[in-house]
Structure 1
């Protein structure tokens, strides 16, 4: 394993340095007895979550369906890879991505569309992709050709990354699926380097109407349904929701009508995770004040760029 990257990782149980045991194919803690298996070249820091964490299992199922072509094809949530790159540049006010340098941590890699296009367009950057689902192991087959990309399986509420070590953190559509929005922001904020470390996250706004959220609430606790049931529901309900969007023009975050496949994919995405928070701009302000984040900008609905000043 790359020694510079290994130096960024830590034991999630005691925060100590790790060492690479090549023979056993694990990362070992130099202090306690913890070992983390390396699966398909990807260190797994919360492998048990794949069996006992509802959200981890849900997203593993979701990306398996996606990879099997059962929802969208070249797009993810109606967006192409180039759209994700454009949004990344917008988030950090980047004018020339090809000259972009520094260490980037993408939290919630998902389909891998962004990290793939970042690797191609930002060769000077060091890119770490973290996800809690098992799709991160499958992405390794695609991303291994890029020398500047490193993947890890981990939990953002207990990240295997040392504090004050990352220059840029990007997390879009992820932290509202964790147990605590505030706890997630606090966790990621602590990973940033002092003096201009930057965190961008996008989260569901509570002040906008969302038909998907209404549907989720009508179903009670759909994340407890069997995976096959949620999949069938996403297919059966999609035509009705698509017609509703077509008639009312209430597109739920979007300004135009999306495809039936995208609507179906969004339904599965909304009813599967255990947690689905929505927050207001006032709550974002409250969280930032609690964490002493003084330099933050709200960008559209509801993206937030937080910049770490030298004395924070």
Structure 2
């Protein structure tokens, strides 16, 4: 069952999450939830059940004393007890009956995940624009700013996503990163990227078919740093960050590449990855028009 077939509506811009219950015996649904989600405070699950915010497949709310319904699907709304507000605006660059184009700030997640639920771009836009079916056509990392596309209606989303799958979308990024005087530019980086075995990060590997390609152009140099134009021909996870790190010119402020740094507190907005999705263009699959959108943001040079 997809999210679009959920028996309960979007609430405060947030789609309900679903969970298929395994066979077995537990004293109650609450007992199972406490065991299944040990990282969630027990009072939170008690409150959700007491407030009628956990539902069965027909959209009927469970109660605190509800028995465990093995082999059924339940629905609930995710919450984070102490979510930090992200103090940056996300202006809408364009809007029509099918598309919303936003200029995402750094450090605002695109979609609800982990510690970020209400403070995400999707949740903000669904709420402020009153568009409950809004969904992202592609994604940007939380650390990356810039142009991102959303689809107003679920039925239209597939046609736009197909453009990305068929490499019919032209994307341009900007980054401030290290400078190597021995590196001839412009250049094209082609490699095979795959996820590391011990973490979610990507790494270049020898052998196998090349699956990632990025054109790197120098815009401006300032001492040990430079501003680059990056034009990806493929869309592998963390592609730009992994490519530049492998070339010895890691993007300034990257907490993951070339080495993962200790996680910062959620309320630390003092610095960020200097990577910007500058522009995106494509031919609209519905009316054949050429669509082109550019971020109005500026990547500031880091203070020396």
TM-score (norm 2): 0.30
Which fold has the larger relative contact order, with Cα–Cα distance below 8 Å and residues 6 or more apart in sequence? 1
Greater share of strand: 2
- Considering only CA atoms, is the larger Rg found in Structure 1 or Structure 2? 2
